[in-house]
Amino acid sequence: MNNTDKLYERRKKSVPNALGIFNPSSIQSAKGALIVDADGRELIDFAGGIGVNNAGHGVSEIIEAIKAQADKFIHASFNVSIYEQYLDLTEKLCELLPHGESTKAMLTLSGAESIENAIKIARAVTGKSGILCFDGSFHGRTMMAMTLTSNVKYKEGAGPYAPEVYRLEYPYYKPSMSSRMTQDEFDDLMIMKLHKTFSSIVSVTQTAAILLELVQGEGGFTVASKKYVQYLRKFCTENQILLIFDEVQSGFGRTGKWAAYEHYGVTPDLSTWAKSMGGGMPIGAVIGKQEIMDAVKPGLIGGTYLGNPMSCVASLASIQYMQRNNINAAGEKVGRVVRNKFNAWQAKYPQNITDVRGLGAMLAIELSHPTSGQPDGASAKTIVEKCLEKGLIVITSGTYGNCIRILSPLFIEDHLLERGLNLLEEAINETLG
Ligand SMILES: Cc1ncc(COP(=O)(O)O)c(C=O)c1O
């Protein structure tokens, strides 16, 4: 039994089985896009801690910032004693991600907590309770975030969930639909369904917010249609409904921009952040238009650890490092390389690889059974396992686990990206060939 196996044996004794295993790998150290596992094997990291390590592992600026802060103080609680590290970060976020003329940001500890707070703010400010979300969405594991999440495999048996949450069809136009309708016809249909929801399911006068991932992370990297999103913006403004974008997975360079919404020419009222914002430390944010953020009564939002100083300095160091080294250009470049490969694999296995989708470097392939056309989660699982044997960590996504997604660090050396893609290609050939 090797060291990794021993860790999994120990895990069985003290950790509940309910905690999922996305990839049966281990880690003892990491640098850049390389992980060294518990047995000293080098593995290329295409999972990036589920979208956290856009900047890569072991960034010295982040490490030094954490060490220096640990020497000063580790915790105080921002509500008790104010500290500049929190403000350095909120100022940076407001500068980088303006939501209109004047922007404010609050810090959280995670993506789910950002969602919880965004919903509380939206309800408090509008005085309305209804929240519209989308099928295929994932917003986190706390009770409201879980309510808003679509996939029942995460939810079964843990309800009842929060009331006043309604679900819309996600506006992703799959290229294979082109034989039935054009993108434009599809967009019009989705807009018609939006209106139908407001006539037959919930009234606009009861709706506080519409919450959307512009690229669905756990949902399999589906991309929301531009015309629909632009329509949503107009519709929300006209009906005093807040538009909230969940950028937890899509933010900080992953799509080749700081925010996926920059691709749409649309500014949300509120947005939620976490993952790569912290360079590996647990931190998130709700960013919003100042008049909305300030309309909430003091006391409604907060928490002991929110904006923990260690996480604040790590986040600021990480953002500055990403800015200096142009993370967005890196995201675009990784995206181009990966998309070319994915397109070539789809051309080789058109019956199995039924979609190549995403935005920037947030890219996935979708696997289906060649005869039935049904989602092929089993092949995706086999590919992940074969990759690990070969020295590559990659994870799946999608409601049926049938998509292979790339969330590698964006600052990845060309030769490692190439090698990782070659290993993935070998695993695909062995599985589908
Ligand atoms: C889009 C999105 N929102 C929210 C979350 C929840 O974030 P966290 O796991 O930090 O609570 C995730 C996590 O994968 C996510 O992808």
Residue 287, phi then psi, degrees to nearest 5: -115, 140
Average pLDDT over residues 183-199: 98
Q: Which atom of ligand 1 lies nearest, measured to the CA of 140? A: 6
Q: What is the 20 CA–ligand 1 centroid distance (Å)?
A: 15
Ligand 1 binding pocket (C-beta < 6 A) is 50, 110-112, 115, 138-140, 213, 217-218, 246, 248-249, 274
The pairing of beta strand 207-212 with beta strand 130-134: parallel
pTM: 0.98
pLDDT at 68: 98
Residue 31, phi then psi, degrees to nearest 5: -150, 130
Residue (of 163, 164, 165, 160) closest to 150 by Cα position: 165
Q: Which atom of ligand 1 lies nearest, measured to the CA of 112? A: 11
pLDDT tens digits for range 47-87: 999 999 999 999 999 999 999 999 999 999 999 999 999 99
Domains of the chain, each with CATH number or no CATH: 3-58+327-432 (3.90.1150.10), 73-324 (3.40.640.10)
Q: How confident is the model at residue 316 (pLDDT cuts 50, 70, 90)?
A: very high
pLDDT tens digits for range 89-132: 999 999 999 999 999 999 999 999 999 999 999 999 999 999 99
What DSSP assignment string belongs to 31-74?
EBTEEE-TTS-EEEESSHHHHT-TT-B--HHHHHHHHHHHHH-S
Q: How confident is the model at residue 332 (pLDDT cuts 50, 70, 90)?
A: very high
pLDDT tens digits for range 248-299: 999 999 999 999 999 999 999 999 999 999 999 999 999 999 999 999 999 9
In contact, 396 and 402? CB cutoff 8 Å: yes
pLDDT tens digits for range 214-235: 999 999 999 999 999 999 999 9
Between CA 43 and CA 37 the distance in angstroms is 7
Q: Could you count the other beta carbons within 10 Å of the beta carbon of residue 431?
A: 20
pLDDT at 85: 98
Residue (of 247, 300, 197) closest to 97 by Cα position: 247
Average pLDDT over residues 293-315: 95
Q: What is the 120 CA–ligand 1 centroid distance (Å)?
A: 17
In contact, 115 and 145? CB cutoff 8 Å: yes
Average pLDDT over residues 313-340: 98
Pocket residue to mutate for ligand 1, from 52, 113, 139, 214, most atoms within 8 A of Cβ: 139
Between CA 309 and CA 329 the distance in angstroms is 29
In contact, 315 and 283? CB cutoff 8 Å: yes
Residue nearest to atom 7 of ligand 1 (CA): 111
Q: Could you count the other beta carbons within 10 Å of the beta carbon of residue 310?
A: 22
Calculate helix-pair angle for 414-432, 327-348, nearest 10 degrees.
20
pLDDT at 19: 93
In contact, 30 and 385? CB cutoff 8 Å: no
Average pLDDT over residues 357-385: 97
Average pLDDT, the chain: 97
